Amino acid sequence: MLKQLTISNYALIDRTHIEFDSGMSVITGETGAGKSILLGALGLILGQRADAQALLDKTQKCVVEGVFDLSEHHLEQLFAENDIDFELQSIIRREVLPNGKSRAFVNDTPAPAAFLKSIAQHIIDVHSQHQNLLLGNDSYQMMIVDTVADNGNERASYSEAYERYRALRHQIEKMTHDNEKLKSDADYIAFQHQQLAEAKLKDGELAELEAELEQQTHAEEIQTALATATQLLDGSDTAVAAMLQTAAHAIEKIAEFMPADINAAARIETARIDLTDLCREMSRLADSTEYNAERATFLQQRVDNIYMLLQKHRVQTVAELIEIEHALAVQLESITNFDAELEQLNRQAAEAFEVLTARGKALTASRCKTFERITSFITAQLKELGMPNANFVVSHTLLAEPSASGFDDVRMLFAANKNGQPADITKVASGGEMSRVMLSIKSLLSESKGLPTIIFDEIDTGVSGEIADKMGGIMTQMARNMQVIAITHLPQVAAKGARHYKVFKTDHADRTISNITLLDSGARVDEIAKMLSGATISEAARLNAQELLGK
């Protein structure tokens, strides 16, 4: 329920604060006084697009704030999913800055406009003339049936089964499509896999192969260098090792004259031993380094083959080639196992369809139970609203294939005249007739619990007199179960409200300002009398107004 609405710097409104109550409230005012401005401001906190052009003072920001009682709407989970604190008395605020940017807050927590829209559908239903076109929308008609049927559990159960069945069908279609493509490329995939498999690749081998190939290519050069180095270091009496030994003996002769911490002889001997060990290792390496033409050819071919595969598959490493080999193996296995996997999926889809069908039948049954009630209720309402020959019919057929909303094709048909053939409401009903049909539907829906506040924006357009009085009576009945706010030009409807607000304009030196005020009993008589007789209020109009108000 909307408890309070505060608007500042919006269109013709400087600042206004309105407090609403439960039951039925009415808003009246002359054409152009600013009633539509109120709805525009309200639309901002319901997530509609913001526009800096709507600012009264283009240098200041616009602020619209609404206080809502959410105690009957069960929105705790929605708030939790968006990380916003839930309060039974929640405050929604929208600010529009002079640069055109806007920001929204819910209970002082920043919130995206999309969240405001998701809240809006639960808390307020603004019914304007264009909403009558919803009567031609299949999903809206189904919503009416489901709301009356109160079949939330059945719909949730069906939706779960439908998503399961749809996912399996999608998987089957994708697998079939992918397999057809794989089959067309099967020979090429098999060739690529065989080529990689026969290569018997090992991660890291390319560097080892290239190092060995370098050794084979330079074997003679390596042997000559090693032999020369060995000969110079330890191959004769004049080699480095022999000279180190001579140097060690010379130092030993003067050891007693040398500082003890130098230990020169021992250090020279250690160097000679290390050098001798190195020479042995180089000698063994020289003996083992031998050019092998067959091995060199194998290594060159192996390296060339790996580089060819790298270039072919446009990768940089052998590890990536191994991954490609595995992927190709999976594709080949998929082709081989396709029939078995498809059979299993088809079996699962058939089982899912059985579940879906059973739940669809339960959903259909819940809907069919409401058709007579909907038809009789709306027909009776239309007769009360001055359409004695109205014929309202709920047409139902079963779909050949399941849809997201069930197996049902529900259409609401209407004929205004006797013996008229019921047809699509939007094609055969006039504006006034559509307004009365929509009001009857809203009246029917008002019997459900937890419905949002409804704002009727001149739903009574095109009617007058007794019918207007009847429409006001229906709104009053609706207000027993929900908050109803009616914007109207008709005194018969205005007199039905428990609270009456008037929108009016005042001219100032530099601009015109719209205001809204709650009328007391005396001012209310004057306002309704003015709606009856015009600017000059006659005594007869005043008495008529008092009669309408039951005074």
Question: What was the pLDDT predicted at 61?
Answer: 93
Q: Determine the average pLDDT of the residues in 368-380.
A: 93
Position 210 in a domain: yes
Residues 6+ apart with CB under 8 A from 253: none
- Identify whether the C-beta of residue 168 lies closer than 8 Å to the C-beta of residue 349: yes
Higher pLDDT, 296 or 411: 411
Which helix or strand (DSSP H or E) is residue 267 part of? Answer: helix 264-288
Position 417 in a domain: no
**Beta-carbon count within 10 A of 76 CB:** 11
In the predicted structure, residue 258 carries a pLDDT above the cut 90: no
Q: How far apart are CA 475 and CA 463, in angstroms?
A: 15
Position 466 in a domain: yes
What tokens appear for 389 in the block? 């020959």
Position 144 in a domain: no
Single out the residue of 410, 409, 408, 401 nearest to residue 166, CA to CA.
Answer: 401
Q: Determine the average pLDDT of the residues in 325-343.
A: 79
Given 316, 332, 349, the domain boundary residue is 316
Tokens 């299993």 found at: 344
Question: What was the pLDDT predicted at 298?
Answer: 86
Mean pLDDT of the chain: 86
Angle at 19 between CA 14 and CA 20, to 5 degrees: 130
Higher pLDDT, 339 or 49: 49
For the stretch 50-85, pLDDT in tens is: 888 889 888 999 999 999 999 888 889 999 999 999
Do both 124 and 228 map to the same domain?
no
Q: Determine the average pLDDT of the residues in 205-214.
A: 83
Question: What was the pLDDT predicted at 497?
Answer: 92
In the predicted structure, residue 403 carries a pLDDT above the cut 90: yes
Do both 10 and 97 map to the same domain?
yes
In the predicted structure, residue 520 carries a pLDDT above the cut 80: yes
For the stretch 220-231, pLDDT in tens is: 777 778 778 877
Q: Determine the average pLDDT of the residues in 253-281.
A: 82
Do both 124 and 227 map to the same domain?
no
Position 487 in a domain: yes
Given 271, 290, 316, the domain boundary residue is 316
Q: How far apart are CA 82 and CA 299, in angstroms?
A: 63
Tokens 């009574």 found at: 460
Predicted TM-score (pTM) of the model is 0.65
Question: What was the pLDDT predicted at 235?
Answer: 72
Q: How far apart are CA 72 and CA 123, in angstroms?
A: 10
Question: What was the pLDDT predicted at 130?
Answer: 60
For the stretch 153-185, pLDDT in tens is: 999 999 999 999 999 999 888 888 877 766 667
- Identify whether the C-beta of residue 450 lies closer than 8 Å to the C-beta of residue 75: no
Q: How far apart are CA 131 and CA 206, in angstroms?
A: 72
- Residue type at 430? S
Question: What was the pLDDT predicted at 104?
Answer: 94
Task: Please list the alpha-helical segments (H only) found in 46-200.
Answer: 76-81, 113-123, 138-149, 152-184, 186-199
Position 422 in a domain: no
Position 246 in a domain: yes
Higher pLDDT, 133 or 267: 267
Question: What was the pLDDT predicted at 134?
Answer: 64
Do both 212 and 91 map to the same domain?
no
Position 256 in a domain: yes
CA–CA distances in Å: residue 449 to residues 51, 193, 434: 35, 65, 25
In the predicted structure, residue 354 carries a pLDDT above the cut 90: yes
Place 495 in a pLDDT band, splitting at 50, 70 and 90. Answer: very high
Burial of residue 106 (CB within 10 Å: 0-12, 13-18, 19+) is: buried
In the predicted structure, residue 129 carries a pLDDT above the cut 70: no
What tokens appear for 204 in the block? 């890291």
Question: What was the pLDDT predicted at 483?
Answer: 92
Question: What was the pLDDT predicted at 20?
Answer: 93
Higher pLDDT, 90 or 176: 90
Q: Determine the average pLDDT of the residues in 271-294.
A: 80
- Residue type at 504? F
Do both 240 and 120 map to the same domain?
no
Do both 107 and 213 map to the same domain?
no
Question: What was the pLDDT predicted at 449?
Answer: 60
What tokens appear for 35 in the block? 């009633």
Residues 6+ apart with CB under 8 A from 224: none
Question: What was the pLDDT predicted at 95?
Answer: 94
In the predicted structure, residue 366 carries a pLDDT above the cut 80: yes
Given 272, 287, 316, the domain boundary residue is 316
Q: Domain containing 305: what range? A: 204-316
Question: What was the pLDDT predicted at 132?
Answer: 57
Question: What was the pLDDT predicted at 133?
Answer: 59
Tell me the percentage of the chain whose pLDDT exceeds 70: 96
Q: Where are the beta strands (DSSP E) in 251-318?
A: none
| Overall domain count for the chain | 2
Higher pLDDT, 450 or 370: 370
One DSSP character per residue, 128-159 reads -GGGGGGGG-HHHHHHHHHHHHT-HHHHHHHH
The b-or-e profile of 459-495 (16+ CB within 10 A means b, else e) is: bbebbeeebbbbbbebbbebbeebbbbbbbbbbbbbb
Q: How far apart are CA 524 and CA 532, in angstroms?
A: 12
Place 302 in a pLDDT band, splitting at 50, 70 and 90. Answer: confident
Q: How far apart are CA 52 and CA 62, in angstroms?
A: 9
Place 437 in a pLDDT band, splitting at 50, 70 and 90. Answer: confident
Q: 484: domain CATH number?
A: 3.40.50.300
In the predicted structure, residue 119 carries a pLDDT above the cut 70: yes
For the stretch 444-453, pLDDT in tens is: 888 776 677 8
Question: What was the pLDDT predicted at 184?
Answer: 65
For the stretch 496-507, pLDDT in tens is: 999 999 999 888
Q: How far apart are CA 119 and CA 163, in angstroms?
A: 25
Q: How far apart are CA 64 and CA 58, in angstroms?
A: 16
Q: Determine the average pLDDT of the residues in 97-102.
A: 90
Tell me the percentage of the chain whose pLDDT exceeds 90: 37
Instruction: State the pairing for strand pair 124-127/453-457.
Output: parallel
Single out the residue of 227, 252, 222 nearest to residue 239, CA to CA.
Answer: 227
